[in-house]
Chains A and B, each alone.
Chain A
Amino acid sequence: MRRMKLGMAAVAVLLAGSLTACGEAGDDDNEGVDVDVKEDAAEDFDEGTRMRELAEEGKVTIGVKFDQPGLGFKGATDDAPSGFDVEMGKILAADLGIDPENIEWKETISDNREPFLEAGEVDLVLATYSITPERRAVVGQAGPYYVTGQQLLVRADSDIDSLDDIRGTEVCSVTGSTSLENIKAEGATPRGFDTYSECVSQVLDGAVDAMTTDGAILLGYAAEQPDDLKVVVEPFSEERYGVGYSLDHPEMCEWINETIEESFENGQWEEAFNLTLGEAGVETPEQPELDPCPAS
């Protein structure tokens, strides 16, 4: 009987909670770059190219991260993700004449980016996707549209300011990431969590000594809480974020590079950056040099 009453009470509390629901948490302004969606874009591409197909279909599927604020993040109540990667995706889609509303966003995690591209689950991947020779062996990667490197995020009062200091400390990053393996090689105890945000919270609470991943991500967090967090150590790796595409459609590379180049020139790249990572206080970086496309 007592159990029953407990259960009833719990249900009553839940119900009361939902009936009197009146909070207004979360914010709705999810505005991104004002992209100029091209009209009759299909005409611009040669018959038989993937770009033409996509433009004619009027739909494109893009893989982005859903858990990295500033780059690709989708909250529990959001309809679409937001972030720098997402904005770059919109710019690319606009060049195909595709409205942001007609983009299908698919969540990709670090483990499934190549397979998604190979299987045609997604047309493009913009998911903090570092260009590496190993990856280029199986998928295409155009760009880079952003260059960053692995760094450390520590509490503002931390003594850690060189790579030597992290020997014997505990460092958080995302389970299965290369950052975590790199830091293990440096002599730190790796602590794998599900998302970067949880790592940040571990750093803030003093549960770990530092967290590590690409500087772009860390700077975003540090800029949000400059009194509590700082980014230390010169980048000890170079991560060049590229746009992933399938090797079945090598013609996409030139188009992606041209579109990125165009966004450098017409200011959309900078605007996209300022609205996302820049919003959090990260300085706009220099425009990176694009890799030439492999001769097809």
Chain B
Amino acid sequence: MEAVFSNFGEYLDAFGVTLALFAVSGLASMVLGLVLATMRVGPVSVLRGAAGLYVTVFRNTPLLVIFIFMAVAAPKLGYTFRFVEDVEIAGWNVSAYFTRACIALTLYTSAFVCEGIRSGVNSVQLGQAEAARAVGMTFLQSMRHVILPQAGRAVIPPLASVQIALAKNTSVAAVFGMAEATATMRAFNNNYADQRVQIFLLFALGYIVIVEIISFGSHMLERRAKVA
């Protein structure tokens, strides 16, 4: 136990990095996922096909391989994303490693967000879409004013699951140079080999707390959406 408690600052920092990875890629994946989902259910068949291909490719590729693309292969092509290091946000310097990890996580998670939203759209009653068309709305209008607000309700549970998965998936960044929670657990283990079980349980607890908060938040949202 004291392995973690005597290094509690490091423990918190590590989960801070995990949370930062989660927050940035969570937001980005929602945006990209929404764009993909709109393409996927829209009237332009080329875009439908493109979004479908994207989902097929990224859903069936392991996240680790996507990380290899971003962290190992992309720099070979000259994409190091080091230019972000000149950017300073509220005193924090964004690192290129962080950026690349977020891109990998976003690319992967967007495919699942897209599928989540699509299933939500499918769950909206036919009559609603028909009514929207009847009053003369275009595809984008009916999506924006009729379908998506209602899909929102059905979309919460699957999207919450996708985000929970993302929170856990940030651990893969540990293998590619990010000193987040999983990498830090490994480092603690090297220094305190006799306390492996306790160290593991404490780090697991950190993830459980994050996962429970997302889950709780989604339940709250769902409840509110139901009342409205």
* Total interface residues in chain A, CB < 8 Å: 21
Taking the nearest CB of chain A, how far is it from the CB of B25, in angstroms?
Answer: 19
Chain B proximity mask over A6-46: 1 for CB below 8 Å, otherwise 0: 10000000000000000000000000000000000000000
Which of the residues A3, A6, A111, A193 comes within 8 Å of B176, measured between beta carbons?
Answer: A193
Q: Are A201 and B72 in contact (CB under 8 A)?
A: yes
Q: B96 in the interface, Cβ–Cβ < 8 Å?
A: yes
Whether A111 contacts B190 by the Cβ 8 Å rule is yes
Question: How many A-B residue contacts, CB cutoff 8 Å?
Answer: 48
Chain B residues with CB under 8 A of A111? 190
| Candidates A172, A190, A206; contact of B82 at CB < 8 Å | A206
Contact A175 B80 (CB under 8 A): no
Interface residues on B, range: 20 to 34
| In-complex Cβ contact of A191 among B56, B72, B82, B97 (8 A) | B97
Q: A115: nearest residue on chain B (CB-CB)?
A: B193
* Residues from chain B with Cβ under 8 Å of A6 in the complex: 56
Determine which of B52, B80, B176, B187 lies in contact with A205 in the assembled complex, contact meaning CB atoms within 8 Å. B80
Given the known interface contacts A175-B183, A192-B179, the answer about A205 and B75 at a Cβ–Cβ threshold of 8 Å is yes
CB distance from B180 to the nearest CB of A (A): 11
B177 touches A191 (CB 8 A): yes
Q: Are A3 and B56 interface neighbours, CB within 8 A?
A: yes
Contact with B along A103-136 (1 / 0, CB 8 A): 0000000010000000000000000000000000
Q: Which residue of A175, A176, A194, A208 has the most chain B CB atoms within 10 A of its CB atom? A: A175
Which residue of A190, A191, A194, A207 is within 8 Å of B75 (Cβ)? A207
Asked if B175 lies at the interface with its beta carbon under 8 angstroms from chain A, I say yes
Q: CA of A176 to CA of B56 in the docked complex: distance in angstroms?
A: 36
A202 interfacial by beta-carbon distance below 8 Å: yes
Judge whether A198 is part of the interface by a CB distance below 8 angstroms. Answer: yes
Q: Is the Cβ of A189 less than 8 Å from the Cβ of B72?
A: no
On whether the beta carbons of B95 and A198 are closer than 8 Å, the reply is no
B76 close to A194 (CB less than 8 A): no
B59-100 contact mask (Cβ, 8 Å, vs A): 1 or 0 = 000000000000110011010101000000000000111000
Chain B window 164-177, contacts with chain A (Cβ cutoff 8 Å), 1 for yes, 0 for no: 00000000001111
A170 to B52, CA, bound (A): 38
Q: How far is the CB of B82 from chain A (nearest CB, A)?
A: 7
Cα-based distance from A208 to B72 in the complex (angstroms) = 12
Q: How far apart are A265's CB and chain B's nearest CB, in angstroms?
A: 39
B177 touches A192 (CB 8 A): yes
The listed residue (B96, B174, B190) touching A207 by CB distance below 8 A is B96
Alpha-carbon gap, A172 to B71, bound state (A): 13
Q: Are A170 and B97 in contact, with the CB atoms below 8 A?
A: yes
Complex Cα spacing A208 to B71, Å:
11
Binding site for B on A (CB under 8 A): 2-3, 6, 111, 170, 172, 175-176, 189-194, 198, 201-202, 205-208
Q: Which 6 pairs across A and B sit closest by C-beta, in order of nearness?
A: A205-B75, A191-B177, A207-B75, A207-B80, A176-B190, A206-B80
Q: List B residues at the A interface (Cβ < 8 Å).
A: 52, 56, 71-72, 75-76, 78, 80, 82, 95-97, 174-177, 179, 183, 186-187, 190
- For this complex, 28 residue pairs linking A to B, each with C-beta atoms less than 8 Å apart, are A2-B52, A3-B56, A6-B56, A111-B190, A170-B95, A172-B177, A175-B175, A175-B183, A175-B186, A176-B190, A189-B95, A190-B179, A191-B97, A192-B174, A192-B177, A192-B183, A198-B72, A202-B72, A202-B177, A205-B78, A205-B80, A206-B80, A206-B82, A207-B75, A207-B80, A207-B82, A207-B96, A207-B97
